[in-house]
Chains A and B, each alone.
Chain A
Amino acid sequence: MPKLTVNDVEVEVEDGSTVLHACEAAGVEIPRFCYHDRLSIAGNCRMCLVDMERAPKPIASCAMPAGDGMVIRTDTDRVKKAREGVMEFLLINHPLDCPICDQGGECDLQDQAMGYGFDGSRFSENKRAVENKHMGPLISTVMTRCIHCTRCVRFATEVAGVPELGAIGRGESMEITTYLEKTLASELSANVIDLCPVGALTSRPYAFAARPWELNKVETIDVMDALGSNIRVDARGAQVMRVLPRLNEDINEEWISDKTRYAIDGLRRQRLDKPYARGRDGRLHPVSWDEALKSLATALRKAKPNAIGAIAGNQADAESLYALKSLMTRLGSPNLDCRQDGAKIGGNRAGYLFNSTIAGIDDADALLIIGSNPRIEAAVLNARIRRNWLSSRMPIAVVGPKVDLTYHAVFLGQDPTILDMLAHGSHKFAAKLKKAKRPMIIIGMGALARADGAAMLGKARKIAESYGVVTKEWNGFNVLHNAAARVGGLDLGFLPARGGMDIASMGKAAKAGKLDLLWLLGADEIDFEPFASSFVVYQGHHGDAGAHHADLVLPGAAYTEKDGIYVNTEGRVQYATRAAFPPGDAREDWAIIRAVSGAVGKSIGFDTLAELREALCADHPHFADADTIAPAKWASFGGRAKLSAEPIGQAFDNFYMTCAISRASETMAECVRASSADHGAAVAAE
């Protein structure tokens, strides 16, 4: 632990720290462009120069290892002059187009030029100009503004694992580009926009849409996957303009996936803004809330209690799940299911959580992935696996389809018998699991959302127990969900009650004419065919598959339009905050359910969101502890039946379109087109 003096302040920093870290520890802010905490050190912008005792010239603090007894000064005239010199050089070739630049107002160069910039220019020659590069539908480029910090190059190579960006040429003719100007084939590509300290890489869908100071910024939670990435939603009036990542070291660090960032234009299209009822002509006609509630109340009264079913979708908030469950209980219906894909999970918490926590991935030293493609199911989590692999080269094996995960993995095949072999120890990879001190298993919906899902889960538990995946201080048994609402639903017990039907049985009952009413809470990804004869109520925010098959449509709020609780795949409870109001007559989902309970005359015991949350937390105490994870107790779960011979697949193929919002998004549609055009259909299908 070296001890340094920075501007007469003595600080002690961790081994392996740099002088820049020491300066920060001493409370001195160091200007920088190329240095970034999560990327390798480049040391090429020279903005972080500081004075070191006995050094003949200023040193780049980002690249200088902190040494014991160093005496650093950051407040000398020489340092100021050196930084002003660097700034002057940077500005020589940087255009003066801040007024028309999207980065204006949140630009590192602009900000630091205020501190170190010169008020005029001494450069009377021609400025250099660089042709703009094509980087796909998400990233807009103005390469003349580039200052060659190479953050984007390092991000693509190190974090995203797609070494497609590079700096070609040298000196004055150096340019950042992708090979032959292909689209950057990464689910995390748009993070380079945040990393770019200038306006060279900006957001294409958000181009010239707003200025940062006119936006209302709300810190909330993402629901595009089950990670619960922390995001900031910037809205202007009722319109969500953009989504940015928010720092959370335990979940998304400071990255978000492209879907999280750009599916939001789907919030403006295909919206349900008033209630609809299916008329005698078989078409949906707008109706008033009164009419809608009345007709639903009549239908609910008419239906037999055990012939009412409720299915929750992938983005439902815990409050609406709790409200709907309360209403169903009051109506006497045991038929609830929050597992649209029919996953065979629920019950013991350890059997459906990402037990090691996401941050726990950093500690793993062997990994077995079963029926999951983390790259598209949880892109940010995949980057964490890659980071561990980069430093440790831990053995990784996949039981499932062969795909490019951005790290080296051995594909064992798709045959379920491989799991038997692993459990018996007769497979080659078993030895590697055995040798590992903290082995990890990630099992995805590709294995669990099938008829023999329970047996799969049981088999995975057996493997976990045989190889020390679960010990006193380590639990590496992880279920990777892809639905933001899933863990919340399972925690609340939004599952068939005693004698109740799950989604498959509901379908069977409906076919036999024994399901009078089906309530879909934002459920769009189920097979609607069996429910043709039931009265289907769709409560949700988009005119997607669910609304098309519904007899009554109740317009709800999307995730940016309501306060809600979501539980991520680790079991972490997080509170989302409203950023905009729902359009037209659409209402918050819990309030709709509360209104129906009033119309049907079955009180569910709360009138405000606060009362609802109080009741919810009373029933399920862990919901009161936001941002904490209650470790789940290990117990027996999963089935013991024989596995079917059906090959193990993955949950879905198309990263860009997985929910009603992303299916309505033009940007996502463009991404699908671009990735299939540039990389062939095979990669797009990954």
Chain B
Amino acid sequence: MSIEARIADEQPETFKFSAENEKEIKRIVAKYPKGRQASAVMPLLDLAQRQHDNWIPMKAIELIARKLDMAEIRVLEVATFYTMFNLKPVGKYFLQACTTTPCWLRGSDEMMRCIKDRYAIASGETSECGRFSLLEVECLGACVNAPILQVNDDFYEDLDYASTAALLDSLEADAPLPVGSVMGRSGSEATGGATSLATLKPKQSGVANA
């Protein structure tokens, strides 16, 4: 996707950090030595994204540049380098689908097909209803439970066509399934249950989505 297509055409006139975030920014910047405050650019971009409906307007980039005494282009470089930073509006549910080799071998194509069948969207697009955005991403680092779909901050694992559909149903109803493996396995233990240390009781997996 070209850079032009990644940045929203319509931008808000202004951007201001909330008072709470301003406090947080002070705390973050204080972690770095004087003159090295540019190191705080990624946490600040993250704060801006969380505050602003999961995407970063250009005004926020300029504001962060001023706050950290950086050139605007340097902040934009960071913001465009990471796929995790959205520079245009995304749906309420931002789906990041991993299609790197382990997920692909374990059937990420099926997961993708399910999303595309439902919303007719390609990577980088938002559904017609405006609630779902899809982005094909590189390794999410949870290969043992491949394939992975990241929904906002949460991982859903072991997906296939049917379970992806069930997950999307739950999201449409705004009652998301518990995060983690949709097969209900604990952590990344074997699918057939623990094969060793069977006498130890594992902690219950799956925390309700906040």
Could you say which residues of chain A place their CB within 8 Å of the CB of B76?
Answer: 166, 168, 179
List residues of chain A with CB within 8 A of the CB of B72. Answer: 164, 179
The residues of A that contact B71 with a CB separation of less than 8 Å are: 157, 163-164, 166, 179
B73 nearest in chain A by CB position = A166
B74 touching A130, Cβ below 8 Å: no
B66-78 vs A, CB cutoff 8 Å, 1 = contact: the mask equals 0000011110110
- Mask for A643-655, Cβ within 8 A of B = 1, else 0? 0000000000000
Query: CA A170 – CA B81 in complex, angstroms?
Result: 5
Contact of B74 among A131, A163, A177 (CB under 8 A): A163
Task: Select one of A163, A169, A173 contacting B73, CB under 8 A.
Answer: A163
Are A168 and B58 in contact, with the CB atoms below 8 A?
no
| Residues of B contacting A173 in the complex (Cβ-Cβ under 8 angstroms) | 1-3
CB of A102 closer than 8 Å to a CB of B: no
Q: What does the 1/0 interface line of A144-159 toward B look like (CB < 8 Å)?
A: 0000000000000100
Asked if B10 is an interface residue, CB under 8 A from chain A, the answer is no
**Which B residues touch A177, using CB under 8 A?**
3, 73
Q: Is B13 an interface residue (CB 8 A)?
A: no
Task: Tell me if A96 counts as interface (CB < 8 A to partner B).
Answer: no
User: Is B4's beta carbon under 8 Å from chain A?
Assistant: yes
Q: For A157, list chain B residues within 8 Å (CB).
A: 71
A131 near B73 with CB under 8 A, answer: no
Measured in the bound complex, the distance between the Cα atoms of B138 and A173 in whole Å is 14
Q: Considering the chains assembled together, what is the distance between the CA atoms of A163 and B74 in angstroms?
A: 8
Bound: A131/B2 CA distance, A: 8
Is B101 among interface residues, defined by CB-CB distance under 8 A? no
Pairs A–B under 8 Å by Cβ, sample size 11: A131-B2, A164-B71, A168-B3, A168-B81, A169-B80, A173-B3, A175-B3, A179-B71, A179-B72, A179-B76, A180-B58
A168–B77 CB distance below 8 A: yes
Complex: A131 Cα to B3 Cα, angstroms: 9
Contacts of A130 in B (CB 8 A): 2
Of all chain A residues, which has the CB nearest B61? A179
Q: Nearest Cβ in chain A — how far from B135, in angstroms? A: 13
Q: Which residues of B contact A (CB under 8 A)?
A: 1-4, 6, 58, 71-74, 76-77, 80-81
When C-beta atoms are compared, the residue in chain B nearest to A166 turns out to be B73
Closest approach, in angstroms, between the C-beta of B150 and any C-beta of chain A?
19
List 4 additional contacts besides A169-B81, A170-B81, A177-B73; criterion CB under 8 Å: A165-B73, A169-B3, A173-B1, A179-B73
Residue of B nearest to A153 (CB): B73
Do B1 and A167 touch (CB < 8 A)?
no
Q: Once the chains are docked, how many angstroms separate the CA of A204 from the CA of B3?
A: 24
CB distance from B84 to the nearest CB of A (A): 12
Q: Main SS of chain A's interface residues?
A: mixed
Cα distance A170–B80 when bound, in Å? 7
In the docked arrangement, what's the CA distance between A451 and B151, Å? 73
B71 — nearest CB in chain A belongs to which residue?
A: A163
Interface size on A, residues (CB 8 A): 17
Closest Cβ–Cβ distance, residue B86 to chain A (whole Å): 14
| Known A-B contacts A130-B2, A173-B3; A166 and B58 likewise in contact (beta carbons under 8 Å) | no
CB-based nearest A residue for B76? A168
Which residue of the partner chain A has the closest CB to B72?
A179
Closest to B1 in A: A173
Name which of B2, B6, B73, B74 has the most chain A CB atoms within 10 A of its CB.
Answer: B73
**B78: nearest residue on chain A (CB-CB)?**
A168
Alpha-carbon separation in the docked complex, A157 to B72 (Å): 12
Question: CA–CA, A170 to B76, complex, Å?
Answer: 12
Interface string of A163-190 (1 = CB under 8 A from B): 1111111100101011110000000000
Closest to A130 in B: B2
Give A175 to B6 CA distance when docked, in angstroms: 12
Mask, A394-421, CB within 8 Å of B = 1, is 0000000000000000000000000000
Minimum CB–CB distance from A379 to chain B (whole Å) comes to 20
Q: A164-B71, A178-B73 are in contact. Are A131 and B81 (CB under 8 A)?
A: no
Shortest C-beta distance, B63 to chain A (Å), equals 14
**Residues in B neighbouring A166, C-beta threshold 8 A:** 71, 73-74, 76-77
| A contact set with B: CB distance below 8 Å | 130-131, 157, 163-170, 173, 175, 177-180
Find the B residue at minimum CB distance from A167.
B77
Which residues on B sit within 8 Å (CB–CB) of A170?
A: 80-81
Give A166 Cβ to nearest chain B Cβ, in Å.
Answer: 4
Closest to B6 in A: A169
- With a 10 A CB-CB cut-off, give which of A167, A177, A179, A180 has the most chain B CB atoms: A179
Nearest CB on B from A181, distance (A): 10
> Considering the chains assembled together, what is the distance between the CA atoms of A179 and B59 in angstroms?
12
What is the CB-to-nearest-CB distance from A526 to chain B, in angstroms, rounded to a whole number? 42
* Residues of B with C-beta under 8 A to A131: 2, 4
A180 vs B9: C-alpha distance when bound (angstroms): 12
Chain A residues with CB below 8 A from B74, complex form: 163, 166
A167 to B6, CA, bound (A): 15
Instruction: Write the nearest CB–CB distance from B119 to chain A, whole angstroms.
Output: 24
| Distance between Cα atoms of A130 and B3 in the complex (Å) | 9
Task: Give the CA-CA distance A164 to B74 in the complex, in Å.
Answer: 8
Distance, CA A168 to CA B85, complexed state (A): 13
List B contacts of A179 (CB < 8 A).
71-73, 76
Chain A residue at minimum C-beta to C-beta distance from B77 = A166
Chain A residues with CB under 8 A of B3: 168-169, 173, 175, 177
CA A167 – CA B79 in complex, angstroms?
Answer: 11
Q: Chain A residues near B58 (CB, 8 Å)?
A: 180
Distance A590 CA – B73 CA, assembled complex (angstroms): 52
Cα(A263)–Cα(B10), bound, Å: 39
Q: How far is the CA of A377 from the CA of B77 in the complex (A)?
A: 33
Contact A164 B4 (CB under 8 A): no
> Is A168 a contact of B4 with CB atoms below 8 Å?
no
B2, A168: Cβ atoms closer than 8 Å:
no
Distance A249 CA – B139 CA, assembled complex (angstroms): 50
Contacts of B4 in A (CB 8 A): 131
Instruction: For the complex formed, measure the closest distance between the CB of A570 and the CB atoms of chain B, giving whole angstroms.
Output: 33
User: How far apart are A244's CB and chain B's nearest CB, in angstroms?
Assistant: 27
B80 CB contacts on chain A under 8 angstroms: 168-170
A169 to B87, CA, bound (A): 12
Min CB–CB distance B64 → chain A (angstroms): 13
The 10 closest A-B pairs by CB, nearest first: A163-B71, A166-B73, A168-B80, A179-B73, A179-B72, A166-B77, A170-B81, A169-B80, A169-B3, A175-B3
Residues in chain B near residue A164, CB distance under 8 A: 71-73
A173 to B81, alpha carbons, bound, how many Å?
Answer: 9
A178–B71 Cα distance when bound, in Å, is: 11
Shortest distance between the CB of A636 and any CB in chain B (Å): 45
Q: Which of A157, A175, A180 has the most CB of B within 10 A?
A: A180
Distance in Å: Cβ of A303 to nearest Cβ of chain B: 60
Shortest B155–chain A CB gap in Å is 23
Alpha-carbon distance A370/B42, docked complex (angstroms): 42
Report the Cα distance A175→B2, complex, angstroms.
Answer: 9
A148 nearest CB across to chain B (Å): 13
A166 to B49: give the CA distance in the assembly, Å: 22
A residues less than 8 Å from B2 (CB atoms): 130-131, 173, 175
Which of chain B's residues have a CB closer than 8 A to the CB of A169?
3, 6, 80-81
How close is B175's CB to chain A, nearest CB, in angstroms?
A: 36
The smallest C-beta distance from B103 to any residue of chain A, in angstroms, reads 19
Interface centre among A163, A168, A170 (most CB of B within 10 A): A168
**In whole angstroms, what is the CA distance A605 to B4 when docked?**
69
Chain A contacts of B73 at CB under 8 A? 163-166, 168, 177-179
A292, B80: Cα distance in complex, Å: 67
Of all chain B residues, the one with the shortest Cβ separation from A157 is B71
Nearest CB of A to B87, in Å: 10
User: In whole Å, how far is B37's beta carbon from the nearest beta carbon of chain A?
Assistant: 16
In the complex, A175 Cα to B76 Cα: how many Å? Answer: 12
For residue B58, which residue of chain A has the nearest CB? A180
Query: A180 vs B73: C-alpha distance in the bound complex, in angstroms?
Result: 9
Report the minimal beta-carbon distance from B120 to chain A, rounded to whole angstroms.
24
Separation in Å of the B9 CB from the closest CB of chain A?
Answer: 12
User: Could you tell me the distance in whole angstroms from the C-beta of A203 to the nearest C-beta in chain B?
Assistant: 23
Which residues on B sit within 8 Å (CB–CB) of A163? 71, 73-74
Taking the nearest CB of chain B, how far is it from the CB of A48, in angstroms? 25
